[in-house]
Amino acid sequence: MTLPRQQQINRQRNGHVLVWDQNGLNEIFEDTKPRCFQKRFFVTFMLFLGMANAYVMRTNMSVAIVAMVNHTAITDGHDDIFDDECPNSNLTEVIPFGMLAKRYGALRFLGYGMLINSVFAFFVPIAARRGGAWGLSVIRFIQGLGEGPIVPCTHALLAKWIPPNERSRMGAAVYAGAQFGTIISMPLSGLLAEYGFDGGWPSIFYVFGAVGTIWSVAFIIWVYEDPCSHPTIGEREKKYINNSLWGTNEMKIPSIPFRTIAKSLPFYAILLAHMGHNYGYETLMTELPTYMKQVLRFSLKSNGLLSSLPYLAMWLFSLFISVVADWMITSERFSHTSTRKIMNSIGQYGPGIALIAASYTGCDRVLTLAILTVGVGLNGGIYSGFKINHLDITPRFAGVLMAITNCSANLAGLLAPIAAGNLIDNQPTIAQWSKVFFIAAAVYIICGTIFNIFGSGKRQPWDNPENDHINDNHEAQRHNSSGPVTIVPASPEKTKQ
């Protein structure tokens, strides 16, 4: 018999479908309704907390360093430099990890990596006091190695746990942990630096190191690599996830087609979009607290609180827009390709325009913060844009692809504070900071445009989607007991991408 029309439509949706007509199949879909707590939701929640912990460890240094330079050996002998234009106020990831995760599993690399990151946070104050800049750099380097697996391994786990029609909102929920972590880190770091124990700023690393250690242990114990290895997952949910993704109960992964990937324009579109985003985002994340202190003249306590407002906006907006993105796809009004490009345009053009506008606000603190808050908030669109696009074009190699793009993007992100430091060069004027903002805006807009030209939401041939069809036929023959099943493959001409 021929598959029902709805299953034929599903076959055309980005290559991820249910491919055999099995008795009770509707019950599998019925079981996916959130009438009870599903295991994939718990995995999403734990990954969200892991991403939040990772960004806490990143952003707490940007606040702590302001207090640290006045109390440790990390100083060059000069006093802090301020811009006197504005009056004072009274306001008080890496390629090797993707490869290893593919071969040995993403779970352990993520869990143990974050455990290393968290434990070494306890050594930051000791290194800063006794080892100076070099000692601190060594500890932070080790923390960076521990944090390296977070993004590629998260992508690899999402590829195994999240069905295509839930990707935008689940992916955004996980990666929005970055903003949640920033929101938590900046104000609490400011308060701990002001009132914390052991001299204030060291308590930042003690407190967040303890939280990260607890999460890492819980993650290693309670989260599993994939639905098949989970001992207590319901059979219906397991079948729903696996059949939605691969058409079978197992994920078949051939060798990585590096040569073909190297010729793929959709891959380069993601790569450049990722690099452009990291440059702009790091400009804001690492330089915003300094800008607020040197130019807008906020106190340390207010600095941490007000610096977190843009990331609160980004967190909330990313959750909202991800639901819209999934609706755009499931309603069939938009293809995967057009949805990703629209979302990414919001996520990269928005902050680019905001950075340009912020260059003309002068000493108007309220207007500057409002513009930056809106701009960073719109940046949340990238989670339903290029950030989740790896899963669209290559669900089998999403973790590896994310490792490549994330490693390159982190290198691009390193250029942001270097460029800002060279442009400011002990002259923190509004004019100099405007140059920093203009460069970041240009990078955002150019990279977003490249993604719009060459990006795609279509599953690429080098992901070996034909393996699904082979496995689908085996499953159809094994599960159908009433007669032969005719498999209707997706037609390239009819597939809406």
CA–CA dist 163, 240 (Å, integer): 8
Residue labelled with tokens 């207010």: 302
Q: Where does residue 314 rank: exposed (0-12), middle (13-18), buried (19+ CB within 10 A)?
A: buried
List the structure tokens of 478: 């094994």
Residue 231 to residue 223: CA distance in whole angstroms:
10
Per-residue pLDDT of the chain (497 residues; tens, 9 = 90+): 444 444 444 444 444 443 333 444 444 444 444 445 788 899 999 999 999 988 888 777 777 776 666 554 444 444 556 666 666 654 444 465 555 655 556 788 888 989 999 999 999 888 888 888 888 888 888 888 888 788 888 888 888 888 877 888 888 889 888 888 888 887 888 788 888 787 788 898 999 999 999 999 999 999 888 888 888 888 888 888 877 776 554 556 667 888 999 999 999 999 999 999 999 988 876 677 677 777 777 654 556 667 678 888 888 999 999 999 989 988 889 998 999 999 999 999 999 999 899 888 877 878 888 888 898 899 999 999 999 999 889 888 888 898 899 889 988 988 888 888 888 877 778 888 888 999 999 999 999 999 999 999 998 988 876 665 444 444 444 444 444 433 333 433 333 44
103: left (phi over 0), alpha (psi -120 to 50) or beta: alpha
- Rounded (to 5) percent helix, strand, coil in the chain: 70, 0, 30
- How far is Cα 244 from Cα 159, in angstroms, rounded to an integer? 11
Instruction: Identify the residue whose tokens are 């080790």.
Output: 142
479 vs 16, 245, 256, 475, CA distance in Å?
19, 18, 31, 6
- Residue 470 has a pLDDT of 46
- Let me know: does 14 contact 21? Beta carbons within 8 Å: no
Residue where the block lists tokens 């405007």: 434
Instruction: Copy the structure tokens of residue 375.
Output: 């701009």
DSSP letter for 486, please: B
| This prediction's pTM | 0.72
- Residues 476, 480, 482: CA angle, nearest 5 degrees: 145
Which pair of tokens denotes residue 224?
Answer: 């599993």
Q: Are 440 and 279 in contact (CB under 8 A)?
A: yes
On whether the CB atoms of residues 351 and 444 are closer than 8 A, the answer is: yes
Would you say how long the chain is, in residues?
497
Q: Which domains does the chain have, with CATH numbers?
A: 38-72+96-243 (1.20.1250.20), 257-461 (1.20.1250.20)
